[in-house]
Amino acid sequence: MLKVSISPRTHIRLARTMRKGDSSICHLIVMAAVLSMAGCVGGSDKPVVPADTERAAARAGFPLSSQIAVEQGMGAGAAETARRFEARTPSAIEERPEGWADLDLSAPPDLGLGSLTFEEAQRMNAFLPSSDGQVAAAPFVLKASSAEKTRALLCLTQAVYYEAALEPTVGQEAVAQTVINRVRHPAFPKSICGVVFQGSSQITGCQFSFTCDGSRMRPPIEPFWSRAKAVAERALNGYVMSPTGLSTHYHADYVFPRWGPEMVKIRQFGAQIFYRYPGPLGQPQSYRGRYGGGELRVSMIGPSPQAIQAYRAANGTIPPAAPGSETYTVVDARTGKVISNARFAKNQPTPEEISRINSVLAEMAGGEKQ
């Protein structure tokens, strides 16, 4: 039997003719003949549908008749291009990740950022682009009484030491510059100690983790302390770490905080990545706050050792664990005698981490015995 295909426009015309009740024998004969040749009337054969059209309809999830209508509306070249493209796309479509089944608007969705490994966090941080053309901060010269200067120097030295003792000099200078930038920004206190110890009375409220996590219970080690103090002194006497720009935030590259993508990334110095606010809050006009003094009025006590220990027992480490620890031997250059061994570590392994490490070691030991 001869097979023909008729356009959707022909279908519509014939249907309108039947609805109008036209008795013209010519119309009826033409309609019957066309439909019969198309395999719709007077025969058992069905219209021939290309196999690729059936597959496309099945993949798309809509009726075959709709797919046929779409193809009939295409030119021959467009239809052929669509078939070639469609044959390459199903695997990409099938592998799309599923969305959330339930979305609680009262809480942010969990993106799994808290479970990233150190290597995954470093890779994600590297993907965030850095902003070009940073504006350098204006020089800051501390003008205060002798006692206020001494206290401000102590606070800034602690920040540089406990936050970046093992960082290169540029990394320490960037930390000091960030503290000074905060003093000038309206979102932060107007003194060096006020910025460094902001929120330190509560374990979970401190801006600089060393002020509330018990780090200061470890006495400072020379020559690292003197190096940090020298960096702090230069910063309080007008030195500007220009590449840091107008940074007000930073974090280690082995963590990926939620706020990171919301800020403007400046660049990385050592293991620390520095950011400024986006929009007007990160522009020079927002850094015009005047130094207010009052260094001696800022409390440097922080949470008690008992409170810190209780928090760690209930919640784990403060702050999130950092990778490994490093030990340095300090030797007197004149006598060659060992002065002390300095061990730097921010993390206390959890029981789960210890168990996982022991399991790995047991497997390694078993493999060596075999």
Q: Report the distance separating Cα 196 and Cα 157, nearest Å.
A: 10
Identify the weakest region by mean pLDDT among 26-35, 58-67, 203-212, 346-355: 26-35
Q: Which two tokens stand for residue 48?
A: 């021939």
Query: Best-predicted range by mean pLDDT among 117-121, 178-182, 320-324?
Result: 178-182
Percent of the chain, pLDDT > 70?
62
Nearest 10 degrees: Cα torsion 343, 347, 348, 352: -140
Q: Report the distance separating Cα 210 and Cα 215, nearest Å.
A: 5
Q: pLDDT-based confidence at 117, cuts 50/70/90?
A: confident
Nearest to 82 by CA among 91, 73, 92: 73
DSSP state, 135?
P
Nearest 10 degrees: Cα torsion 64, 65, 67, 69: 170
Q: Which two tokens stand for residue 243?
A: 């590449």
Instruction: Give the model's pLDDT for residue 283.
Output: 92
Instruction: Give the model's pLDDT for residue 202.
Output: 79
Please, what is the average pLDDT of the chain? 75
CB contact set of 43 (below 8 Å; sequence gap of 6+): 1, 36
| Residues counted in the chain | 370
Instruction: Give the model's pLDDT for residue 72.
Output: 74
Q: Report the distance separating Cα 182 and Cα 188, nearest Å.
A: 6
Instruction: Give the model's pLDDT for residue 323.
Output: 36
pLDDT digits (tens, 9 = 90+) for 341-368: 444 444 455 566 667 777 776 776 665 5
Nearest to 241 by CA among 290, 173, 297, 162: 173
Tell me the HSE value of 76 on the side-chain side, using a 13 A CA sphere. 0
pLDDT, greater one: 4 or 272: 272
Q: Which two tokens stand for residue 226?
A: 């003197």
Instruction: Give the model's pLDDT for residue 121.
Output: 85
pLDDT, greater one: 55 or 261: 261
Q: Which two tokens stand for residue 300?
A: 């440097």
3-state DSSP assignment of residue 337? coil
At which residue do the structure tokens 């008992």 appear? 306
Identify the weakest region by mean pLDDT among 5-9, 168-172, 261-265: 5-9
Instruction: Give the model's pLDDT for residue 333.
Output: 53
Q: CA 113 → CA 4, 100, 127, 254, distances in Å?
A: 59, 16, 15, 12
Instruction: Give the model's pLDDT for residue 188.
Output: 93
Q: pLDDT-based confidence at 169, cuts 50/70/90?
A: very high
Q: Is the pLDDT of residue 63 over 80?
A: no
Instruction: Give the model's pLDDT for residue 206.
Output: 87
Instruction: Give the model's pLDDT for residue 264.
Output: 93
pLDDT, greater one: 250 or 66: 250
Provide the greatest CA pair distance for the chain: 122
Residue type, 123: R
Mean pLDDT of 304-316: 79
Q: Report the distance separating Cα 273 and Cα 259, nearest Å.
A: 13
3-state DSSP assignment of residue 217? helix
Q: Which two tokens stand for residue 20?
A: 């109008």
DSSP state, 218?
S
Residue type, 259: W
Instruction: Give the model's pLDDT for residue 44.
Output: 46
**Bridge partner list, 268:** 273
CB contact set of 368 (below 8 Å; sequence gap of 6+): none
Q: Is the pLDDT of residue 41 over 50?
A: no
Q: Which two tokens stand for residue 246?
A: 């107008």
Mean pLDDT of 76-98: 61
**Bridge partner list, 251:** 273
Handedness of CA 39, 41, 45, 47 (dihedral sign): positive
Q: Is the pLDDT of residue 110 over 80?
A: no
The secondary element (H helix, E strand) that includes residue 264 is strand 264-269
Under 8 Å between Cβ of 140 and 202: no
Strands 249-252 and 272-276: antiparallel
Mean pLDDT of 328-333: 49
Mean pLDDT of 74-80: 75
Instruction: Give the model's pLDDT for residue 290.
Output: 93
pLDDT, greater one: 131 or 141: 141
Identify the weakest region by mean pLDDT among 53-57, 74-78, 215-219, 292-296: 53-57
Q: Is the pLDDT of residue 16 over 80?
A: no
Q: Is the pLDDT of residue 24 over 50?
A: no
Q: Report the distance separating Cα 105 and Cα 99, nearest Å.
A: 15
Mean pLDDT of 212-216: 87
